[in-house]
A and B are shown apart, each in its own frame.
Chain A
Amino acid sequence: MDVLFLSRIQFGFTASFHYLFPPMSIGLSWMIVIIEGMYMWTKKEKYREMTKFWTKIFGLFFAMGVATGFVQVFAFGNNWSSFSKFVGDVFGSLLAAEGVFAFFLEAGFIGIMLFGWDRVKPWFHYLATILVSFGATFSATWIVMANSWMQTPAGFKVVGEGIHRRAVITDLWEVYFNPSFIDRIIHVLLGCGLMGTFLLVSVSAYYYVRRRHLEFARFTLKFSLIASFIGLILQLWSADSSARGVAKNQPVKLAAMEATFETTEHAPFTIMGIVDMENETVKGIAIPSLLSFLVHHNFKQAVTGLNEFPKEDWPSIPAVFYSYRAMIFAWGAMMLYACIGLFIWWLGKLETQKWYLWLAVFSVAFPYIANIAGWFTAEMGRQPWVVYNVMRTADGVSKVLHTSQVVGSMVMFVVIYSLLGSLFVFLLDRKIQHGPEDSESKDDDIHYRDPYTLPQ
């Protein structure tokens, strides 16, 4: 095992773990903006309590996102210093903008959102909520912009030799709005939204099953089922646009996603299959001509295969192929949840169908699978390049590191993140078990936080 391999594993691991939290913060913050908006509009106490409940959950996700996000800001310099030297001019300016425009907005107003209930007027609290939500969304925008530049670099030229070789900006707007940015940010944000809606589905289904907080659950489940359904339809449209963008800008990635080894007309779309790398074929169930139709909106036109690219430019075909399918299946599962839920609601049996509610409790796993698998497809599909067609991942790694150092940091991250992950799940569960404050709250959790009844 060498430094390059370990650094890739470490970045993949820390980035994936980090990515468990911010998308949920973003999606959930939109939900909170809507629910607190309903409070502002109707002035009904129940919406205020719902907002408070979700804000506490949001705080937990937010804290985890911040703590794990620090690692990512340092990671480019720690393990990828040659990459950092090369792209600092371009990539760094996007990260710095993220810090100035997004993080301060979030960090400045999260305090008011979490602790400001008695300190500021309701409208100001609502403004703080909106600004935090805006900051979270904005932060995703910059980071996806930076990543999109790595996928489809534009607006730059390479200057200098040896250690001074670097990419410099020639056209800022081309860097910002590089060819894949718009498609990808929409896709990512819809993914975040689905995280939020499905968390609401899960939690409210859980309360139904347990026959608790029924008023809360009734509103939340119906609201989140509708929002999920809309999000899933929009995601389908965005997926189509993104995939066609990949076909145009990164044909080798698309070929890997579909494991299309030979350029073929009437290219089939494999629904389920096994990649056979030795014989360079896929065995499985496929729909004839569907891939051609999806890529070109025409059943005949050829889809570029991997055979048109030198083998050293291929990503790992099975990894990309399977993670892409994991994402699609997760979308399918979410769609199934939403449609069945809406159908049962239409029959008027939403509250009594326990089998459905139990299944819905676990539905939040699927947006997670879809988001992570989607990023795996995007990032592993870009390999062996770190900046597509400009810099190879192998050339981006830090030169000064020893294997032992990276093994050490890897072990550290695995230990810390396992600990953090379990603590997080434990605390999230407690918050959900406690539930929102309403007529049936048991008042068991709040006591120890009251300064006058504290254990001394």
Chain B
Amino acid sequence: MSYEVLQILTYLLLIASVTFYVVLDGFDLGVGSLQIFAGKDRNRRIFLNSIGPFWDGNEVWLIIIVGLMFVGFPDMYATILSGFYVMLMCFLCAIIFRAVAIEFRSKMPGAAWRGTWDFFFWLSSLTITFGAGIALGNLIQGIPVNADRELYLPFEALFGIYPVFVGLLSIALFTMHGNHFLLMKTEDEVQERVKKWIPYTISLFVLFFITMTVWTWMAYPFMLDHFVDYPVFWIVPIALATVIVLMCYFTARQRYGLSFLMSMLTITLLFLLYAIGTFPKLVISSLGQGGSLDLTLYNVSASYTTLVVTLVIACIGVPLVLAYGWILYHVFRGKTQLHDHSY
């Protein structure tokens, strides 16, 4: 196999991992941003237990993304992780607090204890979601990577108006996604409650989605280049629009399994838009020089042998991972119930 094919396959693996991450952790982050509004303790516990057996496995995809960047595109891993230092520290802080909040909330009965952890669960879920959006916004906008592949970027410079809006879009997206998940996993009184929210979460997402699509294509026209060169890619935005319409339809018909599926597809296609727009660039340098400073999948990838090893690991690992996932989601299918060993 030629080196270039290996590089592209590794890149596709990275894209697939990110997609799995946003689709899966997306719903538990979304549940996190809604849980504080669930009302009484029993409802909050149902929210929490709906993601109980899954969130941990979903987060592993984040480790996979980071690990895959490390092995497949070491310079990207090193440049981004050191350049986004302060932001990533906040991100890690949120990840720790979130895991701990989920784990510790149910261990004591007091209202103050539980309320505190619910607040941290909410805040950390939003921070992670917003942080992911900020990172993506900056990657589209371009960051000052220099010729030594070092990124000197002060923390406050990350919060340009465009990245902040991408951050808000991801909050709207994951909240909607979490809302769909809850519709599917709850019943009776709790379901009635989340049913009331869904028109708002969908509308908010659609509003942000349209705004950000127009904004991105106006302000960063290079994101459209591949669509102009290969019109076949227009199938992605068309499919996306269709899926969003179907999602609304299934929600209205109370087919919540299908509407959640459409929500998953929405996220997948949205991320594909980003991937097609930026291909083959991984990091766009705002220092210009005709793109010679950009980190692309061709100029930062690991050596031939390492890519072969990575793909072999993936070939063995991916079927296993999918099997574990299937077993897990199969065992915990159906409406969420509370037991004495629940959270």
Question: Is A399 within 8 A of B99, CB to CB?
Answer: no
Q: Which chain B residues lie closer than 8 Å to A169 at the CB level?
A: 303, 305-306, 309
* A84 in contact with B103 given A99-B60, A405-B85, A416-B93 (CB within 8 Å): no
User: In this assembly, does B238 line the interface, its C-beta being within 8 Å of a C-beta of chain A?
Assistant: no
Q: Which chain B residues lie closer than 8 Å to A88 at the CB level?
A: 70-71, 73-75, 77-78, 302
Q: Which chain A residues lie closer than 8 Å to B314 at the CB level?
A: 100
Q: Which chain A residues lie closer than 8 Å to B38 at the CB level?
A: none
Q: Which residue of B lies closest to A98 (CB)?
A: B67
Question: Is A163 within 8 A of B104, CB to CB?
Answer: no
Q: Which chain A residues lie closer than 8 Å to B66 at the CB level?
A: 73-74, 77
Please choose the segment from A33-41, A114-122, A289-297 that sits at the chain B interface, where 4 or more of its residues have CB less than 8 A away.
Answer: A114-122
A251 to chain B, nearest CB (A): 31
Alpha-carbon distance A408/B83, docked complex (angstroms): 15
Interface residues of B in 77-94 (CB under 8 A from A): 77-83, 85-86, 88-89, 92-93
User: In this assembly, does B53 line the interface, its C-beta being within 8 Å of a C-beta of chain A?
Assistant: yes
Question: Is B317 within 8 A of A93, CB to CB?
Answer: no
Interface residues of A (CB under 8 A from B): 52, 56, 59-60, 63, 66-68, 70-71, 73-74, 76-79, 81-82, 84-85, 87-93, 95-101, 103-105, 107-112, 114-120, 159, 163, 166, 168-170, 172, 398-401, 405, 408-409, 412, 416, 420, 423, 427, 430, 446, 448-451, 454-456
Q: Which chain B residues lie closer than 8 Å to A66 at the CB level?
A: 56, 59, 99
17 contacting pairs across A/B (C-beta < 8 A): A52-B341, A70-B62, A77-B70, A78-B89, A88-B73, A95-B67, A100-B64, A103-B60, A107-B59, A108-B328, A110-B56, A111-B331, A114-B341, A169-B309, A172-B305, A427-B107, A454-B42
Partner of B56, one of A71, A107, A400: A107
Question: Is A67 within 8 A of B100, CB to CB?
Answer: yes
Interface residues of B in 115-154 (CB under 8 A from A): 148-152
Question: Is B64 within 8 A of A70, CB to CB?
Answer: no
Alpha-carbon distance A21/B325, docked complex (angstroms): 25
Question: Is B74 within 8 A of A92, CB to CB?
Answer: yes
Q: Which chain A residues lie closer than 8 Å to B71 at the CB level?
A: 88-89, 92-93, 95-96
User: In this assembly, does B37 line the interface, its C-beta being within 8 Å of a C-beta of chain A?
Assistant: no
Please choose the segment from B245-253, B271-279, B332-340 that sits at the chain A interface, where 4 or more of its residues have CB less than 8 A away.
Answer: B332-340
* A82 in contact with B338 given A98-B67, A100-B317 (CB within 8 Å): no
Question: Is A409 within 8 A of B89, CB to CB?
Answer: yes
Q: Which chain B residues lie closer than 8 Å to A120 at the CB level?
A: 331
Question: Is A67 within 8 A of B70, CB to CB?
Answer: no
Partner of A100, one of B40, B53, B99, B313: B313
* A93 in contact with B89 given A100-B64, A454-B41 (CB within 8 Å): no
A59 to chain B, nearest CB (A): 8
Alpha-carbon distance A52/B313, docked complex (angstroms): 35
Contact code string B303-343 (vs A, CB < 8 Å = 1, else 0): 10110011001101110110011011001100000111110
Question: Is A77 within 8 A of B77, CB to CB?
Answer: yes
User: In this assembly, does B63 line the interface, its C-beta being within 8 Å of a C-beta of chain A?
Assistant: yes
User: In this assembly, does B106 line the interface, its C-beta being within 8 Å of a C-beta of chain A?
Assistant: yes
Q: Which chain A residues lie closer than 8 Å to B79 at the CB level?
A: 81
Question: Is B325 within 8 A of A416, CB to CB?
Answer: no
Question: Is B89 within 8 A of A408, CB to CB?
Answer: yes
User: In this assembly, does B290 line the interface, its C-beta being within 8 Å of a C-beta of chain A?
Assistant: no
Alpha-carbon distance A383/B320, docked complex (angstroms): 39
Q: Which chain A residues lie closer than 8 Å to B99 at the CB level?
A: 63, 66-67
Q: Which chain B residues lie closer than 8 Å to A91 at the CB level?
A: 70
* A115 in contact with B82 given A74-B88, A104-B60 (CB within 8 Å): no
Partner of B64, one of A60, A99, A119, A399: A99
Alpha-carbon distance A63/B99, docked complex (angstroms): 7
User: In this assembly, does B237 line the interface, its C-beta being within 8 Å of a C-beta of chain A?
Assistant: no
**Which of B75, B82, B317 is most buried by chain A, counting CB atoms within 10 A of its CB?**
B82
* A405 in contact with B86 given A81-B79, A88-B302, A108-B328 (CB within 8 Å): yes
10 closest residue pairs by CB, A with B: A88-B74, A77-B81, A111-B53, A108-B324, A92-B71, A100-B317, A92-B70, A81-B78, A448-B109, A81-B82
A21 to chain B, nearest CB (A): 12
**Which of A74, A90, A96 is most buried by chain B, counting CB atoms within 10 A of its CB?**
A96
Contact code string B28-63 (vs A, CB < 8 Å = 1, else 0): 000000000000111001000000111011011011
Question: Is A446 within 8 A of B96, CB to CB?
Answer: no
Q: Which chain A residues lie closer than 8 Å to B310 at the CB level?
A: 93, 96
B45 to chain A, nearest CB (A): 7
B52 to chain A, nearest CB (A): 6
* A400 in contact with B151 given A100-B314, A101-B317 (CB within 8 Å): yes
A17 to chain B, nearest CB (A): 11
Q: Which chain A residues lie closer than 8 Å to B18 at the CB level?
A: none
A135 to chain B, nearest CB (A): 9
Q: Which residue of B lies closest to A446 (CB)?
A: B340
Q: Which chain A residues lie closer than 8 Å to B54 at the CB level?
A: 111
Q: Which chain A residues lie closer than 8 Å to B306 at the CB level?
A: 89-90, 92-93, 168-169
A74 to chain B, nearest CB (A): 6
Question: Is B103 within 8 A of A60, CB to CB?
Answer: yes
* A401 in contact with B85 given A67-B100, A88-B70, A92-B71 (CB within 8 Å): yes
